[in-house]
Amino acid sequence: MTSPHPFRFGVNMLVPTDRSGWVEKCRKAEEFGYDVVGVADHLGMPAPFPALVLAAEATERVRLNTFVLNAAFYNPALLAREVAGTDQFTEGRLELGLGAGYVQQEFETAGIPFERPGRRIDHLARTVTELERLFADPEYQPRPAQPSGPPLLLAGRGDRLLTLAARHAKIIGFTGAAAGDGRFPRLDTAEGVDERVAFARKQLGDRADDVELNILVQRVAVTTDRRRTLEKLAEEAPDLTAEQLGEVPTILAGTPAQLAEQLRERRERFGFSYVTVLEDNLEKFAPVIELLR
């Protein structure tokens, strides 16, 4: 691997609130040093596009990201309008995260057929190519602030999705996990993540050093007893031992200094320079950002 990308840190907002509460959260994220404020796309969570426009109004520096939109919920032409308008209103601070969707219950609630994975990826691919076509048209309106539209993040773990990401995305998001049936997702081992990253890099070819790699961290445990904390987490994730959990890039456990060192090691091993944590870790992860600056 050549010289690594500089670190970027994102926080993915999950909890809906009123205007003042949303503004306070976004300002706090910027004050803590986060580079990106993201909004998930699940029913019962904040509406991504208005939430990001308000986040832009409340902040000065942070990028804004859909992390990630369920492409199956959107008609590509209508999505292009929302994306371009949001990029326009945020003055070019938007990053567009897309995925194929995976929560069957949400499809059923929305009255949208839950197609097999291949069909969902087909729709994602059509969405990506249609957005590229529309944003490349100089006559297209509303005009996105960024000349060819917002940089694209594609997130997932399967071969077809990673291949699509290698062809089109500026950022590849690795989940490091499959959907679980309990409180804890089914995490990949470190070796499993190694294999997924190697597959993506092979598909990237000459673009490998230009594309940013993102990891979604599922848990941040700030503790002086790292071993005991990993043992307790292993009780929730019975597929992995405490030793394995200590190596996976989706779990961070230890003191802030230990967490910072883990992220340096994982950037070296996997290439993950863009690190996203969940909203409940907004404050506890902030000291780690300061150490890595």
Of 282, 151, 287, 291, which is closest to residue 217 (Cα–Cα)? 282
Mean of the per-residue pLDDT values of the chain: 96
Residue 130 has pLDDT above 90, yes or no: yes
273-293 pLDDT tens trace: 999 999 999 999 999 999 999
Mean pLDDT (whole number) for 109-127 = 97
Tokens found for residue 250: 């989706």
Q: What is the DSSP string of 210-270?
A: TSEEEEEE-EEEE-S-HHHHHHHHHHH-TTS-HHHHTT-TTEEEE-HHHHHHHHHHHHHHH
Q: What percent of the chain has pLDDT over 70?
A: 97
- Contacts of 197-202 with CB under 8 Å at 24 or more apart are 197/270, 197/271, 199/159, 199/162, 200/162, 200/165, 200/166, 200/172, 200/174, 201/271
Q: What percent of the chain has pLDDT over 90?
A: 94
Rounded CA-CA distance 52/45 in Å is: 13
Of 97, 117, 248, which is closest to residue 165 (Cα–Cα)? 97
Could you give all domains of the chain from N- to C-terminal order, each with its CATH number? 8-292 (3.20.20.30)
Confidence of residue 185 (pLDDT cuts 50, 70, 90): confident
222-271 pLDDT tens trace: 999 999 999 999 999 888 999 999 999 999 999 999 999 999 999 999 99
